[in-house]
Amino acid sequence: MTIKLLDESTISKIAAGEIIENPASIVKELVENSIDAESDNIVIELRGESTNYIKITDNGTGFNEDDLEIAFLRHSTSKLNTIDDLQKIRTLGFRGEALSSIANISKIKLMTKSDSDVAGTSILVENGKIIKKNKIGMPKGTTFIITDIFYNTPVRKKFLKKDKTEINNIIDLVQKIALSNTSVKFTLIKDGKTVLDTNSDSNVINRIYSVLGSEIASSLNAGKFKSETYNIKGYFSNNKLFRSNRDSQYIFINGRYIKNLNISRAIESKYHSLIPLNRYPCFVLYIEIDPSLIDVNIHPKKNEVKISEEKMLLAILSEIVEEVIYPNRSIRNIDIPEEKSVLNVFDMFNEENNDKNEENKENQVIKNNDLSSLNNIYEDSSLYSSTVDKKDNSYREDTSPHNNIDLLNDNEIELYEDFNFINSTTESKIDERLLNTRIVGVVFKTYILLENQKDSICYIVDQHAAHERVNYEKYLNMYLNKNINSQILLKPEIIELNQVEYDRLQNYLEIFQQLGFKIDDFGDNSIVLREVPIIFGMPTYVDFIRDIIDSLDKNITSNYEANLYKIMKKACKASVKSGDKLSNIEIEELIKNLKNCDNPYTCPHGRPTIIEISLSTIAKLFLRE
């Protein structure tokens, strides 16, 4: 096969594929150029399909007329002179490939004017060549109109996703850029309809509100850190806000949106046991860092960077998140949304009808769909799913109301009325309103009812989840303080391992010793277990060893790096189950211990231990409000 040198046109189209993957890539490159041109007002307009028409207008510095002749050539840029400039680059663009790539796969009309030019200039570009040039009148700034995207590369166009997906990608991209540049006003218009319209506001929360909405903005808590190297501002969700993926995690370094799994995981680790497993916190993170400490030139899309001394940055972020989220935890509450009734204007003057309506309201029977709103709260979130295995649900078989509800008798209530949890001498981490409660009873041998008459609030405590939390923190403190007691097995246990498991265990044998296990080699990929930690109980120690071995899939240097979720599982095993009948003293002790936990609001798996229901919510269910 003969080797041939590709012609310049083919080379340009191949190179364009590295930068321009889809219409969103075009929007990204042009909007970032507008920001680099010191624009404070950028308008993005889309018409028809994502490949039909993209118009981007800014009020930036514009192009000099003389620069237009080389602006669409590869590697033409105003942002770099030598490779050394990369170490101090602060602009979003720098390679000089974007305009060339766009020009080779679409048709471009460019209108621009700089301060130094008397009139503006309009040019048409096809296949990377300027085919027409005119003088026009216009204010300072630049307008790009991109049409017929991928018209000359039909194979690329064929592999685009559905048009709705491509449009959503553009919207998502503009939102991310808008979040990172709060001093710039962004307007996004699709087929004449405004999709996004922000003000130029230096207040970050206002920008988050306008881009991401009130649900996220109202649930974020701010934290910051500043040194000679870093200037960090972060907004992190509380324990009530989370998502099933990382799409609501926004990381910006020097104004550039990036993806960094290490940063995400460092932040997520501080939410362990605060939110459910397999759920992710929401956050918006702004990091200003010395450009010499990062490398932005490792990916064509520039959404990945290499960070020097990344471990130091991760440690700082972990500390910021911990300081922010722990003081802002709260109890989950159930509320019934207000129903807005449509009022006929003529009914306002019909006194007879109004009187009848008031009488009917008193006698109205609650319908099933009036009560369904409470059920929907549980159905919409996996947080409220049962934490109990089916084998623990034997109490459900007995449907007698007397057996399902354990109310305290009059004498027991009198004993509890004088007891106030706030009298405890230990400093509490829990909501003070919960401390001012009395125990009313237990429902279904699972849920402990607490009443706060002063604040008109009722609390429901899941005894299993609460005991999980108490046990987990007890075990975790022993584990981290290296205060684990072991017991000698009367009959040593021989455990057979495969080669991978055996090698891992031998490499990290010291960790097992720190965990309270005494293990000797028994030959032929087998070990003999002689001592086990008391806290994990006798029946499950073999499974626990295998769990730890499975978690040793990376370089672990100490027992602090072992998977803490293995300890959570053990806390589960030792906790009381739903359906276990507790004495009044046990209930009292459980609530007192829960009160003194570092995080009393969720079990180790992130499910709530306590649910709050206000008196007004209960009154709404009975149509009293």
CA separation for the pair 270, 238 (Å, rounded): 11
Provide the CA 202 distance to its chain's centre, in angstroms: 24
Highest-confidence segment of 329-333, 481-485, 604-608, 614-618:
614-618
Q: In whole angstroms, what is the distance from residue 184 CA to residue 498 CA? A: 60
More confident residue, 163 or 437: 163
Lowest average pLDDT, out of 52-66, 289-303, 573-587, goes to 289-303
Phi, psi dihedral angles at 377 (to 5 degrees) = -60, -40
Kindly indicate the confidence band of residue 270, based on its pLDDT and cuts at 50, 70 and 90.
confident
Name the pairing type of β-strands 185-190 and 41-47: parallel
pLDDT above 90 coverage of the chain, percent: 20
- Return the minimum-mean-pLDDT range out of 132-141, 384-393, 479-488, 509-518: 384-393
Give residue 567's identity as a one-letter amino acid code.
Answer: I
Model confidence at 452: pLDDT above 60: yes
- Per residue in 194-221, pLDDT tens? 999 998 777 899 899 999 988 899 889 9
pLDDT, mean of residues 64-70 = 82
Name all domains of the chain by residue range, CATH numbers in brackets. Answer: 8-197 (3.30.565.10), 204-328 (3.30.230.10), 334-625 (no CATH)
Question: What pLDDT does residue 95 have?
Answer: 54
Per DSSP, the residues of 50-61 read TTTEEEEEE-S-
Residue 121's H or E segment, with its range, is strand 120-126
Tokens matching residue 440: 């009313």
Q: What is the dihedral of CA 376, 382, 384, 387, to 10 degrees?
A: 150
pLDDT at 570: 60
pLDDT band with cut points at 50, 70 and 90 for residue 513: confident
State the virtual CA torsion across 89, 92, 98, 102 in degrees, nearest 10. Answer: -170
Per-residue model confidence (pLDDT) at position 451: 87
Q: How far is CA 614 from the centre of its chain?
A: 29
Most confident option among 385-399, 470-484, 579-593: 579-593
Which of 481 and 341 is assigned the larger pLDDT?
A: 481
Asked if pLDDT for residue 170 goes beyond 90, the answer is yes
- Is the CB of residue 601 less than 8 Å from the CB of residue 434? no
Residue 581: per-residue pLDDT: 81
Q: What is the distance between the alpha carbons of residues 410 and 420, in angstroms, rounded to a whole number?
A: 18
pLDDT at position 373, please? 34
**Per-residue model confidence (pLDDT) at position 282:** 93
Pairing of strands 53-58, 129-136: unpaired
- pLDDT attached to residue 333: 63
Closest CA to 448 of 289, 597, 591: 591
- pTM to 2 decimals? 0.60
Amino acid 273 reads: S
Alpha carbons within 13 A on the beta-carbon side of 405: 7
By mean pLDDT, which of 27-41, 422-436, 483-497, 572-586 is the weakest? 422-436
Asked whether residue 369 carries a pLDDT value surpassing 90, the answer given is no
40: tokens are 């404070």
Question: Which residues neighbour 71 within 8 Å (Cβ) at sequence distance 6 or greater?
Answer: 63, 99
Beta strands (DSSP E) in 137-282 are: 141-147, 185-190, 193-197, 220-226, 230-237, 249-253, 256-258
Of 612, 622, 624, the closest CA to residue 335 belongs to: 612
| Span of 85-94, 145-154, 296-305, 310-319 with lowest mean pLDDT | 85-94
**Pairwise CA distance, residues 208 & 139, whole Å:** 31
**Cβ–Cβ under 8 Å, residues 544 and 530:** no
Highest mean pLDDT among 386-390, 421-425, 495-499, 540-544: 495-499
Under 8 Å between Cβ of 570 and 548: no
Q: Are strands 249-253 and 230-237 parallel, antiparallel or unpaired?
A: unpaired
Q: Of 248-252, 423-427, 489-493, which one has max mean pLDDT?
A: 248-252
Backbone phi, psi, residue 218, to 5° = -75, -10
Beta strands in 198-304 (DSSP E): 220-226, 230-237, 249-253, 256-258, 283-289, 294-295
| Average of per-residue pLDDT across 122-129 | 89
Mean pLDDT of 313-331: 82
Q: How confident is the model at residue 414 (pLDDT cuts 50, 70, 90)?
A: very low
In this structure, are residues 505 and 521 in contact, taking their beta carbons and an 8 Å threshold? no
Q: What is the pLDDT of residue 563?
A: 57
For the chain, the C-alpha Rg in angstroms (whole number) is 32
**Mean pLDDT value across the chain:** 75
pLDDT digits (tens, 9 = 90+) for 527-541: 888 888 776 555 456
**Cα 369 from Cα 386, distance rounded (Å):** 23
- Sequence-distant (≥ 6) Cβ neighbours of residue 477 within 8 angstroms: 483
Alpha carbon distance 520, 509 (integer Å): 9
